[in-house]
Structure 1
């Protein structure tokens, strides 16, 4: 049995007038061959009912989600955390908790947080100072990295203007983009569809 990635919402980010934009994040389900269901990013609170229906179309119940990972703390990535049970493990950036009990894990030491032998959470700061990405090995398409806003969309591999303006630390983000690009067969970005990784980044 292979691990399975299901994109239940493709993220978007569209410019509006007066220097505003509308956005919501990519939301992914991971069916682990070892530990059941995992959700990556929850979308904004305005889509709570849709998220619940989407999850229930694959899982019998919200309680089937054993782990929720939010790649960073922006509102469009964490807006529906409150729909999950007290016993769900939450990984939000560098924080890990079950209920009100927090686990002391030092992401800054560079070690991955292992969920299973095939699935781990790695520190990939830059967009914010506490971004994480989820590495899923042993899928039908190879290694998939769910990268949050480390990659905004496929096009930003070739145009750094698409991500640098939203980055808290562009130099660090580029370093972590290169790390992810070196290990992923496919990348799930924060605001677009999953894309094949050709291992090439445009470094201007």
Structure 2
């Protein structure tokens, strides 16, 4: 497995091997023991999620959950391509308020591990993009947190193609980072 540690502590880009021949390929996309060793974490996933974005230019995020339901995620793309972003909101972190991004696609087979204490969002670069991710805490609506995608303080360099992204009403109404008031250890 290829392992790349990104600029923010805890963010890890993983690429599982694919074994292929004229029939296609086989890949062990998740193995708990190998994942724990590669990512350097004891995270135990409890839920799998999947989203489909029908068109390019869909932006989902920036989302998270506060304690005690803060979620670590392992994100991968099974069809299409995304610009995947994580923002450090761990108050005690030296990189609090900083972001990192990577491209995930069905072609590059990469996955991104995002520890608890980060907001997450992505922008679809192709139509019919499917994103699958594992989380280590169940969804808890009353613990949801988020920051608006285009917050000037964060300054995320989204690769917008063709103007404004397609957003949910919920994502349009998220607060700025200055108004963000989550409590992470």
- Normalising by the residue count of structure 1, what TM-score does the alignment of the two structures yield? 0.27
Structure with more of its chain in helix, by fraction = 1
Which of the pair has the greater relative contact order for Cα pairs under 8 Å at 6+ separation? 2
